[in-house]
Structure 1
Amino acid sequence: MTSAGNGSFNACYSAGPLAKAYVRFTSASTATWRVITSETGGVYAFTTPTRSASGTVNLGTVWAPTAIQDAWKIVDTMNLLYWKRANPTTPCWTKHQAAGKCDIFTVVWSADRDGGYWDYGGTNFVILGGDQPDSQHLVLHEAGHWFQWQLYNKSFPEVTGCSPHYVERSSSTSCAWTEGFADAVAAYALGDYRYVFDTGQEASFVNDPSTPGWDSGDTVQGRVGSSLLDLWAGDGPDGGSWDSNIAMMSGHFSQDFREYFTTDRPAAGLGTQGVPTQILASHTIRY
């Protein structure tokens, strides 16, 4: 890979004469994340046409076959989270794995199945189907659940009262915390302040105490998610990024947003007075 921005690459061979060659692509990024065909299946793959290997050959733009292109949409989208994972010590997702022993984030996708969830306690894979990879927010939201589990060294809050759940409606403290965190992961990775469904419909996270149709408090995932995004913002109180929060969550487990804010932030040296309190209050959360 010569440019992650446009996907350009060089493939070189120098072991001796080679009359013909092809390039094979798989729906994986080294040993860090992958997209597989089913819970027990392998990665998607395709090859370029066999070409003469004499000298330099320009393959032009290489496209995945239409029927399986969404697998590479997922692979590409996951770069956005990986680049911001805030683990300076190893190439793994979190500090809990040593280099060479990284856990692999796995997505199961096929065009003819239902999905849109993280299979916690089962395979621990994210399950997607149909056109769901069209929404980067959806992919990153479900990845956000897995990422939180990884930050907590494969522990996860005990979630209740979460079916159904909505951005602007009250559910439970545990549901709002885990869903709000996943919403915030997606928005932070993409650099925006919303959730875009695979249908193209959008849900804005902009809210204050007077926003019509929104319930109040830390049982509302949109209130929790927007509070996190404001804490992590470039002009926010946490140093302009989420990095200090990622370091904190790698060592402190929070069952809900209250514990995150009132117990674990102070333990990690992150503020809870002044601007942080004002941010929460602007989203109707008061402790």
Structure 2
Amino acid sequence: MTDSGSGHFRACVKAPGTLREAHVRFRSGSTDLWRVVKDRTSQKEYAFNSPSRHDVSADQNLGTVKVPAAMSNAWHITDTLNLLYWKRDNPTSACWTRHQVTGACDQLTFVWSRRETDEGAGYFDLDGTDYVIAAGDMTDSEHFTLHEAAHWFQWQLYGRDLPEATNCDPHFIEKRSSTTCAWTEGFADATAAYVLGDYRYVDETGGETSLENDATTPDWDPGDEVQGRVGSSLLDLWAKDGPDGGNWKRTLRLMAAEPSDDFREYFTVDRPEANPPLTTRGAARDIITQHTIDY
């Protein structure tokens, strides 16, 4: 068993007598809930062994076991996905969402390679493999890892479906795209910031963008076609002093019950129909207005 906080682990074996040789094998996955694989074809996880011990007949302290540098990013992804899983708000099963029962969970797969392939990297392969494709040091940014995982998570909340995001290639935090693109990308930006407890996005190159914005923010387009406006609105709705109870749990329950095509539908149609309803007045209305969204 591994302590997810400290990384301490204890491995046991049931065998009579002395073991001639023993080692512990580590793989880049967490049970059957998420994994990191080398490529989308073989789907082999990264793995390595601890140094061997010989003639083992009692407890052994392996000390600090380090992931080989060449595959360390695979474990960084695995550890980062822990953070999202802990906040998934699914009390009904061990799965990512309420749509599945323990023992029949969908598995989140990241494909990570040390070098980018001809097919490119840095995206959720929707309607292809449904894997997240990453490469190199992209995943040094935990925001990037969580952003791409959030696309898969929203797809899961919506019952393996996502709204068709139009005018979304390319897309930018502060620029207008479309309502559907801003909704999916804004949710992903907000998820990364919410899970990490900050108010920014750090992209795969290390570039940092603050999600703080209002009508006076230079170079930001206005409205709900801008993913940064949508993402910051969500973060403020979920804030500890926000109108949604101090967290994102009620939004996740709503999304699992009623998929929204864009932020307008989420705010004006689906929030009032939540059980119990999520407010669209008062502080909630002030939040979206501050971020230049006007319904």
Name the TM-score, length of structure 2 as normaliser.
0.95
Aligned: 1:261 with 2:267: yes
Counterpart of 1:249 in structure 2: which amino acid?
M
Q: Which deviates the most, 86-95 or 56-65?
A: 56-65
Counterpart of 1:26 in structure 2: which amino acid?
R
Matches within 5 A, 1:101-250: 101-113=104-116, 114-250=120-256
Q: Which residue of 2 is the match for residue 74 of structure 1?
A: 77
Q: Which residue of 2 is the match for residue 271 of structure 1?
A: 279
Counterpart of 1:222 in structure 2: which amino acid?
G
**Cα distance per residue 1:127-160 (max 9 Å; x no partner):** 0011111010001000000000000001110110
Q: Which residue of 2 is the match for residue 14 of structure 1?
A: 14
Which runs of 5 or more residues in structure 2 are unaligned?
none
* Pairwise CA RMSD: 0.9
Counterpart of 2:28 in structure 1: which amino acid?
S
- How many residue pairs match? The answer is 287
Q: Which residue of 2 is the match for residue 50 of structure 1?
A: 52
Q: Which residue of 1 is the match for residue 288 of structure 2?
A: 280
CA separation in 2, counterparts of 1:142 and 1:197?
11
CA separation in 2, counterparts of 1:155 and 1:76?
26
**Cα distance per residue 1:24-80 (max 9 Å; x no partner):** 000000000000010022111100111032312111111111111110010000000
Q: Which residue of 2 is the match for residue 91 of structure 1?
A: 94
Q: CA shift at 1:232, angstroms? A: 0.5
**Cα distance per residue 1:189-223 (max 9 Å; x no partner):** 11111011232220000011111111100000000
CA separation in 1, counterparts of 2:216 and 2:233?
16
CA separation in 2, counterparts of 1:245 and 1:286?
20
Q: CA shift at 1:112, angstroms? A: 1.3
CA separation in 1, counterparts of 2:133 and 2:204?
14
Q: CA shift at 1:15, angstroms? A: 3.1
Q: Which residue of 2 is the match for residue 3 of structure 1?
A: 3
Which runs of 5 or more residues in structure 1 are unaligned?
none
Secondary structure of 1:247's aligned partner = helix
Secondary structure of 1:106's aligned partner = strand
CA separation in 2, counterparts of 1:91 and 1:46?
27
CA separation in 2, counterparts of 1:199 and 1:160?
25
Q: CA shift at 1:20, angstroms? A: 2.3
Q: CA shift at 1:97, angstroms? A: 0.7
CA separation in 1, counterparts of 2:165 and 2:2?
43
Secondary structure of 1:263's aligned partner = helix
Q: CA shift at 1:2, angstroms? A: 4.3
Secondary structure of 2:150's aligned partner = helix
CA separation in 1, counterparts of 2:180 and 2:249?
23
Secondary structure of 1:20's aligned partner = strand
CA separation in 2, counterparts of 1:164 and 1:120?
16
CA separation in 2, counterparts of 1:3 and 1:93?
20
Q: Which residue of 2 is the match for residue 35 of structure 1?
A: 36
CA separation in 1, counterparts of 2:7 and 2:239?
29
CA separation in 1, counterparts of 2:126 and 2:203?
21
Name the TM-score, length of structure 1 as normaliser.
0.98
CA separation in 1, counterparts of 2:2 and 2:226?
43
Secondary structure of 1:254's aligned partner = coil
The alignment-based identity, stated in percent, is 59
Counterpart of 1:51 in structure 2: which amino acid?
R
Secondary structure of 2:257's aligned partner = coil
Q: CA shift at 1:3, angstroms? A: 2.1
